[in-house]
Structure 1
């Protein structure tokens, strides 16, 4: 969902809720606006709403997520792409491959025929 679609939905939803509240109750738009501002102020006071603190917490959370993502990517990279230095000890070369003659690959489902 794009930001513009979300914003349009918020605006239309808010307008519909406001219209319904005005029609269903005996309040004026001014009274409804004042009540909403009062509720918002009460919420900010009761929850110690501080934008600087919330911003700092969000930045630290993003930094933590970046660090965890980098660690996870490094672990996956090390697991699926081991270093060649570690593989040198396990590397075995088959010297018998040179002694056997090369046979051309055949097509799928075709019987293998030896040509003389």
Structure 2
């Protein structure tokens, strides 16, 4: 499905099955490959598909694109340059993603929904 990302990275943390054969929308794999190519280093998936139950448990938005298999929360490798690398990742995601991009202190949310930008807690 993707050169650098495996379906297992996107599975709901509660083990419930996704509506997609490869866990998430193929367009999300494509977007993440573009972001990774620009970033030039591995990026890590904090959260991909979420079952409705898991999404509610973690306080996700009721109409979250995670539940639709069309969103991922991504981050660079943890290390001494984490904050600098996260800023770079935010810039790249903002440029590459035509859908939603949320900027958080420890990750970036990207999704295949309509274009919008926000800062989260």
Q: Same fold (TM over 0.5)?
A: no
Indicate the structure with greater helix content.
1
TM-score scaled to structure 1, two decimals? 0.22
TM-score scaled to structure 2, two decimals? 0.21
**Structure with the larger RCO, 1 or 2 (CA within 8 Å, 6+ apart):** 2
